[in-house]
């Protein structure tokens, strides 16, 4: 509709005629009004057309942008493209022409008001009992309307009533605000701190776009473009073609593709090593392997340790050379890779490394690596039993936060002979493990007990998510015995098979100063930690919470039917036999819930309690905040969804969704 749209549409039509790809697949920064909405609709084109919309469904965004851009000039609030005189002149000239055609159209238009009916022909009424009405505009002769739609690229789909409403609103607004308000400051005139904040919000693509506008913006944008880099051993296998090959030819074909992928990755790493401007700003580096180990074995590239070293060796040497220059790297992620001795030494030797994440990767047997005191946070995914990944954590003498993800592993911890000289819990403050089986719970308890006896247990946050075997009463007692008398403040136990009231007593006896307790009960091995009926009624657990001295958060997966509304007039519907459309006649004000009574009972016995959550699959589905008025009366308020999720990230991390305990930084460490 406006001149800017005209140029884009002409370019698009030119691309279509030339047979070149359309350029709507990249999400651009929203420089003008409704650009983001327009991009979303373009990406969902097939779904929108399948729903019955006509091809001109994007017209509404262009026309709204046209009207509201002019209005924005006169109100002083517009978009990132800015309120500059040349842009206004172009827009206003087009508005003048549009207004002439619109007035001619209005002379031939007829408006009538109709009363709307429901799907069954019944009159529609609003909340005040008044009939719902709608304006309907028609144009005679219709050729005038078709000419108007064609000239202004409206299409037959666009509601004529909306055009009249928006055009009349704009005319009235311009009469009230006749003078445009031009922009006096440019984006690049803003303080650097504010520009950095804008780059943060804009994201990577936005920072690149803004950085391309001027040299001064490029200088600021570079620190938002280059900090994170992901290098990948990409897959370009043609599965259909491979299946057509004789079995004897598949291995060499896969090997050819895999070796080419390795060479591309080595060249990319070597190129990065020649760019000091990028390396100086590099803080986060991810090394991702997308190849399935089975395919590489068919190719004969990773069938034994020597072949692994031969295939991955050039990559790891290029990584070593890059890390020797990238001394500002603070985060490294390695996933589905083979880490050679050279690569491991380069990683643990980084002076500024703070977080090391290793997922489903293989290593050779390494006897010794240089000690690192800079790494404070570790994430270990032991998928497929890759226990040698622990070798990358053993040199980390100052590890504070450890997240352990256990999948298809016979054990989660290094073998006993290694644990005789290595105990990570002498330094760890926050630990979370997902998928741990019964045998390893005993190993965990032994490690905690050993660290405690030597005076080195600093653990304050502990989350244990059981695997299929669950957490039975003997394992729980052993764990609580190991934790007894420690400074644990946050405890999450997901997958307990014993949930009688005395389990609360046992925890309170071992850890009376807990701040947050999360318990998820399972009734059997096939059950996940969804909401479930506990062995006792909710009120029977309440007196046992009184044994905690400082408990503020209590979270459990106690089953509530909170999805079903309680209706004051439910008996009337019951007597009528619950007709099919009974719910259409429910007054929302009649719905009420009294689940807060459970929170009140718990808080009555535990005066320090400020929050009670009801969970399913580790997520709160109902949560109450508890406070006390000046006269001591309990005040219980239901939390909204965003607040529930925000609190969960801090007190109950979900490793499956890559959420860990809050990580430690050097500043936090020094503060402690």
Domains in the chain, CATH or no CATH each: 3-111+145-184 (no CATH), 226-399 (no CATH), 421-560+595-672 (3.80.10.10)
Task: Give residue 670's pLDDT.
Answer: 43
Could you list the beta-strand ranges (E) of 456-603: 461-466, 490-496, 516-521, 553-556, 566-567, 591-592
Q: Cβ neighbours of residue 609 under 8 Å, at least 6 residues apart?
A: 545, 551, 552, 553, 554, 602, 603, 626
Task: Give residue 17's pLDDT.
Answer: 53
Residue 617 near residue 530, CB atoms below 8 Å: yes
**Residue 341 structure tokens:** 């001795």
Classify residue 362 by its DSSP letter. B
d(CA 133, CA 125): 9
How many whole angstroms from its chain centre is CA 398?
Answer: 29
**Residue 269 structure tokens:** 């790493």
Residue 188 near residue 212, CB atoms below 8 Å: no
Task: Give residue 579's pLDDT.
Answer: 63
- Show the low-confidence residues of the chain (pLDDT under 70): 1-30, 43-57, 155-158, 240, 384-385, 525-527, 529, 562-575, 578-593, 667-672
| DSSP SS3 for 161 | helix
Task: Give residue 326's pLDDT.
Answer: 94
Residue 563 near residue 531, CB atoms below 8 Å: no
Task: Provide φ and ψ at 184, rounded to 5°.
Answer: -100, -25
- Share of the chain residues as helix, strand and coil, in percent rounded to the nearest 5: 45, 15, 40
Residue 20 burial (C-beta neighbours within 10 Å; 0-12, 13-18, 19+): exposed
Task: Provide φ and ψ at 561, rounded to 5°.
Answer: -90, 55
Nearest Cα neighbor of 180 from 97, 101, 69 is: 69
Task: Give residue 242's pLDDT.
Answer: 76
d(CA 403, CA 261): 31
The length of the chain, given as a count of residues: 672
Q: Could you check whether the bond before residue 141 is cis, i.e. omega within 30 degrees of 0? A: yes
| pTM for this prediction | 0.73
Could you list the beta-strand ranges (E) of 486-618: 490-496, 516-521, 553-556, 566-567, 591-592, 611-616
Task: Give residue 671's pLDDT.
Answer: 41
Place of tokens 């032991």: 382
- DSSP one-letter string for 422-490: --GGGT-SEEEEEEE-HHHHHHHHHHHHHHHHTT-----EEEEEE-TT-B-HHHHHHHHHHHTTS---E
**Residue 42 structure tokens:** 């373009």
| DSSP SS3 for 606 | coil
Task: Give residue 385's pLDDT.
Answer: 61
d(CA 306, CA 340): 10
Residue 560 burial (C-beta neighbours within 10 Å; 0-12, 13-18, 19+): middle
Residue 100 near residue 198, CB atoms below 8 Å: no
| DSSP SS3 for 366 | coil
Task: Give residue 621's pLDDT.
Answer: 86
Residue 231 near residue 287, CB atoms below 8 Å: yes
């Amino acid at each position: 509709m406006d001149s800017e749209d005209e140029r884009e549409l002409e370019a698009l039509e030119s691309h279509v005629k030339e047979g070149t790809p359309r350029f709507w697949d990249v999400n651009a920064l929203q420089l003008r009004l409704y650009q983001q909405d327009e991009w979303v609709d373009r990406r969902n084109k097939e779904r929108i057309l399948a729903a019955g919309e006509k091809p001109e469904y994007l017209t509404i965004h262009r026309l709204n942008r046209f009207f509201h851009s002019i209005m924005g000039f006169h109100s002083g609030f517009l978009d990132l493209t800015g309120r500059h005189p040349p842009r206004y002149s172009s827009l206003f000239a087009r508005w003048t022409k549009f207004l002439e055609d619109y007035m001619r159209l209005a002379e031939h238009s007829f408006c009538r008001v109709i009363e709307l009916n429901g799907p069954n022909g019944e009159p529609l009424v609003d909340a005040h009992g008044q009939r719902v009405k709608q304006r309907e505009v028609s144009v005679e002769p219709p050729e005038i309307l078709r000419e108007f739609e064609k000239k202004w690229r409206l299409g037959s789909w666009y509601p004529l009533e909306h055009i009249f409403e928006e055009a009349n609103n704009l005319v009235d607004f311009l009469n009230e605000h006749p003078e445009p308000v031009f922009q006096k400051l440019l984006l690049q005139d803003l303080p650097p701190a504010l520009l950095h904040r804008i780059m943060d919000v804009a994201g990577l693509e936005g920072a690149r776009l803004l950085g391309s506008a001027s040299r001064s913006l490029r200088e600021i944008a570079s620190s938002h473009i280059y900090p994170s880099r992901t290098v990948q051993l990409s897959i370009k296998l043609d599965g259909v073609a491979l299946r057509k090959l004789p079995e004897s030819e598949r291995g060499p074909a896969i090997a050819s593709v895999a070796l080419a992928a390795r060479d591309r990755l080595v060249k990319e790493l070597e190129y990065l090593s020649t760019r000091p401007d990028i390396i100086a700003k590099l803080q986060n580096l991810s090394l991702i392997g997308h190849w399935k180990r089975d395919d590489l074995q068919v190719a004969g590239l990773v069938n034994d340790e020597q072949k692994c070293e031969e295939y991955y060796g050039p990559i790891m040497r290029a990584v070593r050379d890059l890390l020797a220059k990238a001394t500002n790297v603070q985060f490294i992620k390695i996933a589905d890779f083979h880490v050679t001795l050279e690569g491991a030494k380069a990683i643990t030797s980084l002076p500024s490394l703070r977080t090391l994440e290793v997922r489903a990767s293989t290593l050779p047997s390494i006897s010794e690596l240089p000690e690192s005191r800079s790494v404070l946070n570790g994430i270990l995914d032991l998928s497929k039993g890759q226990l040698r990944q622990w070798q990358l954590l053993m040199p980390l003498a100052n590890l504070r936060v450890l997240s352990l993800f256990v999948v298809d592993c016979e054990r989660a911890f290094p073998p006993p002979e290694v644990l005789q000289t290595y105990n990570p819990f002498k330094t760890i403050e926050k630990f979370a493990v997902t998928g741990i089986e019964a045998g390893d719970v005993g190993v965990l308890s032994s490690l905690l007990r050993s660290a405690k006896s030597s005076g080195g247990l600093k653990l304050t946050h502990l989350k244990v998510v059981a695997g299929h075997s669950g957490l039975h009463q003997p394992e729980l007692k052993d764990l609580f015995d190991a934790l007894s008398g420690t400074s644990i403040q946050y405890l999450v136990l997901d997958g307990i098979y014993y949930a009688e009231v005395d389990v609360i007593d046992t925890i309170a006896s071992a850890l009376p100063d807990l701040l947050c307790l999360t318990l998820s009960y399972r009734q059997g091995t096939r059950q996940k930690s969804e909401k479930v009926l506990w062995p006792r009624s909710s009120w029977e657990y309440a007196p046992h919470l009184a044994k905690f001295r400082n408990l503020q958060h209590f979270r459990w997966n106690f089953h509530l039917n909170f999805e079903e509304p309680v209706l004051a007039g439910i008996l009337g519907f019951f007597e009528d036999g619950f007709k099919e459309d009974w719910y259409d006649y429910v007054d929302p004000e009649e719905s009420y819930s009294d689940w807060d009574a459970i929170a009140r009972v718990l808080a009555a016995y535990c005066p320090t309690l400020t929050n009670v959550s009801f969970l399913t699959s580790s997520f709160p589905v109902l949560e109450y905040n508890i406070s006390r008025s000046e006269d001591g009366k309990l005040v219980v308020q239901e939390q909204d969804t965003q607040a529930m999720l925000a609190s969960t990230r801090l007190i109950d991390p979900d490793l499956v969704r890559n959420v860990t305990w809050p990580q430690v930084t050097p500043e936090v460490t020094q503060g402690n």
